[in-house]
Amino acid sequence: MQLVEMTKLVDNILTEPEFKEGGFVFKHLEQGRPDPLRAVQSAVDRMRELHDIEDCQFGPLCEEVLRQLSIMIDKS
Q: Does the structure show a pLDDT above 70 at 22?
A: yes
Average pLDDT, the chain: 94
State pLDDT tens for residues 32-43: 999 999 999 999
- Per-residue model confidence (pLDDT) at position 23: 96
State pLDDT tens for residues 46-68: 999 999 999 999 999 999 999 99
Length of the chain: 76
CA–CA distance, 66 with 49 (Å, rounded to integer)? 20
Distances (CA, A) of 71 to 29, 55, 76: 11, 25, 9
Sign of torsion over alpha carbons 59, 62, 68, 69: negative
